[in-house]
Structure 1
């Protein structure tokens, strides 16, 4: 049965590694719905957070293929309850909403969002949350003159990753001693 999974991949910083990882998903017919990458707390080690709809069986095979790439330290498949995650959304709203009936400022507070910038023509709201929360907020903002919306990919921390992170820190120390 297909469901949403989060795949985390720890890799060295190499040109073309994103392409090499995504091709493995493509060859298996798995669509990536979100991909975020950033350096970890260990210099030179990057973490890919990949969200996909698939079966566990298919993903286990994909992770096995990914780990065979030379630049990969480790790759993992996670169920939703194994990760703490958020996404970030930005909403551009017409400044007229600040002057019309209805309390957009109250709506922003009630939804744990914040205003990032205000110009003569628009203002930008930032909200973090899960995908459904962010899309629900769009519906609430539409009456106020929603101009534009954009969302990041998933940012996630694995609940049980401590041992692996200790391994990465040891690796970092051994590389630094050369």
Structure 2
């Protein structure tokens, strides 16, 4: 029997096909209805696809932080940032790279897992610094956090089991050091 070794360098066979380069934007907005729709329209008009989206209220309830993972033509990115920044409810919009920020995701993976296979599933969970958040006699839910390649690699490893369901957050990003996000 051939054993497959999956690392963070291994392409994810279940990852969606992406068009163009990947970018992560952080947008601080006023916490008002309709802001998300107006921002999404800017991306749509420019032919960028939103791959992940996380929106949450900030420390001040009058403002929300949007972290948007997008793919598309990198030449149009500066124009998108300028157009988003001009929207009335946008305080600021920045692109973040791995050099200037910390980026993480979380995934919940529910697998069918018999008691005989449980130790192998727990070893995979431990390898990815994950946590078991639910356990039944026939299934388990595992939580993995990390950067996108780590999350992709974990999904690939758990695919040896029957994956019942996955729920994945989008990227969350925070600028390194004293720089504002």
TM range (shorter): 0.7 to 0.9
Q: In structure 1, what is the Cα distance between the partners aligned to 2:24 and 2:76?
A: 13
Larger relative helix fraction: 1
**Corresponding residue of 1:169:** none
How far apart are 1:54 and its partner, in Å?
3.4
The RMSD of aligned alpha carbons is 2.0
- Aligned to 1:130, which of 147, 152, 157? 147
- TM-score if structure 2 supplies the norm length? 0.80
Equivalence for 2:99: 81
1:41 equivalent in structure 2: 59
**1:91-102 equivalent positions in 2, closer than 5 A:** 91-96=109-114, 98-100=115-117
Partner of 1:7: 25
Within 5 A, what are the aligned runs for 1:24-35?
24-35=42-53
Q: Paired residue for 2:129?
A: 112
In the alignment of these two chains, the number of paired residues is 162
Where structure 2 has 5 or more consecutive residues not aligned to the other structure, the ranges are: 1-19
Distance 1:160 1:7, change over 3 A: farther
1:173 is matched with none
Conserved? CA contact 1:67–1:73, under 8 Å: yes
Deviation digits for residues 5-39 of structure 1 (CA, Å, limit 9, x no counterpart): 11111001111111100100110111111111111
Runs of 4+ in 1 over 3 A off after TM superposition: 54-57
The residue number in structure 1 matching 2:70 is 52
Deviations 1:125-149 (A, max 9, x none): 0001122211211221122332222
Q: Is the 8 A contact 2:106 2:145 kept in 1?
A: yes
Q: 1:5–1:80: 8 Å Cα contact kept in structure 2? A: no
SS at match of 2:95: strand
Distance 2:87 2:178 in 1: 21
Distance 1:101 1:62 in 2: 47
1:97-176 correspondence runs (5 A): 98-100=115-117, 103-159=120-176, 162=179, 164=180
Q: Tell me the alpha carbon deviations over residues 30-57 of structure 1, each in whole angstroms, 9 at most, x when there is no partner.
A: 1111111111222211111111123444
When residues 58 and 144 of structure 1 are mapped into structure 2, their CA distance, relative to the original with a 3 A threshold, is: same
